[in-house]
């Protein structure tokens, strides 16, 4: 799971097996539709999980949090933006 900071100040959470490759895709505007219109994007956080299922669960939970909860999640992981 990874979290990007978008150019409009929003957060984007995603799942991949190769974070650097996926970040490059987002930066080249061939990533998710959400990030295409919110350039530039930068990597704030990434975490590996033992299984794909666990990673997808973490991504789902992050995406369905409020802005305030996402900010708390990032602060709890010592991420400052």
Alpha carbon distance 43, 12 (integer Å): 10
DSSP output for 52-71: HHHHHHHHHHHHTS-HHHHH
State the pLDDT at residue 67.
Answer: 98
Give me the percent of the chain exceeding a pLDDT of 70.
100
Domain of residue 10, CATH code: 3.40.1440.10
Largest CA distance in the chain: 32
Which residue(s) pair with 13 in the sheet? 3
- Averaged confidence pLDDT in the chain: 96
Give pTM, 2 decimals.
0.93
- In this prediction, residues 41-58 reach a mean pLDDT of 97
Residue 81: inside a domain, yes or no?
no
User: Encoding tokens for residue 20?
Assistant: 């650097």
Judge contact between 31 and 22, C-beta under 8 A: yes
Domain that holds residue 49: 2-76
Half-sphere exposure of 60 (CA within 13 A, CB side): 6
Q: What's the total number of domains in the chain? A: 1
- In this prediction, residues 53-75 reach a mean pLDDT of 97
pLDDT tens, position by position, 7-37? 999 999 999 999 999 999 999 988 889 999 9
């Amino acid at each position: 799971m990874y979290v990007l900071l978008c150019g409009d100040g929003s957060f984007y959470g995603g799942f991949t097996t190769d974070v650097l490759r996926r970040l490059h895709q987002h930066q080249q505007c061939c990533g998710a539709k959400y990030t295409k219109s919110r350039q530039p994007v930068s990597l704030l956080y990434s975490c590996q999980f033992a299984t794909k299922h666990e990673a997808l669960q973490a991504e789902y939970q992050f995406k369905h949090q409020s802005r305030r909860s996402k900010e708390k999640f990032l602060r709890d992981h010592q991420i400052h933006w």
